[in-house]
Copies of this chain bind each other. A is one copy, B any other.
Amino acid sequence: MTATDPVRLPDRAARREALLDAADRIVRRDGPAASMAAIAAEAGITKPILYRHFGDKSGLYAALADRYTGRLLEDLQAALEAGRTRRDRVARAVDAYLAAIEHEPQVYRFLVHSDEAAPAQSQVRSFTRRLSALLAVGIAAEVGGPPQRAGAWGHGMVGMVQSAGDWWLDTRGCTREELVGELTDLLFGAYGTA
């Protein structure tokens, strides 16, 4: 048993990655409506082994979300470090987010618009929540203020960009650069002084 672990465990991990690859393909094709049976079929196997690997649909979704969020969070992190001014950093981060949803809209819809209402307030927090919480920490370190300020602003900013991005994906009423400009303006008080 213990002797086979070094051989079997990598196989299991590779298998898991292959299953996630299949799930990736199906999510890109079907969006958040991807079904377990379709993913299993794409992977060339049947449902029960999917469930053995991920336990639950939300388990598979969480594992897949970890893949995606990793990349996007790296981009956002890079954007936040690249800018010279605070405004520039915000604009770059907004643009990174919009670029991601523009290039992979199905993946984005999966991340943001998946039901995930199964476990009421479980540890499988949605991508939006995690991103918002992360941003809240950054805001707290940046501008200080009472703790509820960072929370409200973090979640508010993420919701703002996400909602506007949603609308933009549907209507394509302007270029990405224009939307980035408008949202950055809004975040920096243009509405109050318009």
Contact = CB atoms under 8 A, between A and B. Distances in A.
A87 to B, nearest CB: 7
Interface string A75-88: 00000000000110
Interface string A153-189: 1011111111110111011011000110011011111
B194 A143 contact: yes
A186 B193 CA distance: 13
Given A152-B183, A186-B152, A188-B192, A147 B163 contact: no
B192 A86 contact: yes
A67 to B, nearest CB: 22
B152 A182 contact: yes
A178 B128 contact: no
Contacts of A164: 152, 155-156, 159
A106 to B, nearest CB: 12
Given A32-B117, A151-B173, A155-B163, A187 B194 contact: no
30 contacts: A33-B117, A86-B192, A87-B192, A113-B117, A129-B167, A132-B167, A142-B194, A143-B191, A143-B194, A144-B194, A146-B174, A148-B174, A148-B178, A151-B167, A152-B164, A152-B167, A152-B178, A152-B179, A155-B167, A156-B182, A156-B183, A159-B159, A159-B164, A159-B166, A186-B187, A187-B191, A188-B189, A188-B191, A189-B191, A189-B193
5 closest A-B pairs by beta carbon, nearest first, are A189-B189, A159-B163, A148-B174, A188-B192, A160-B160
Given A33-B117, A86-B192, 12 more contacts: A32-B117, A143-B194, A146-B174, A146-B178, A149-B182, A151-B171, A151-B174, A152-B178, A159-B162, A159-B163, A159-B164, A186-B187
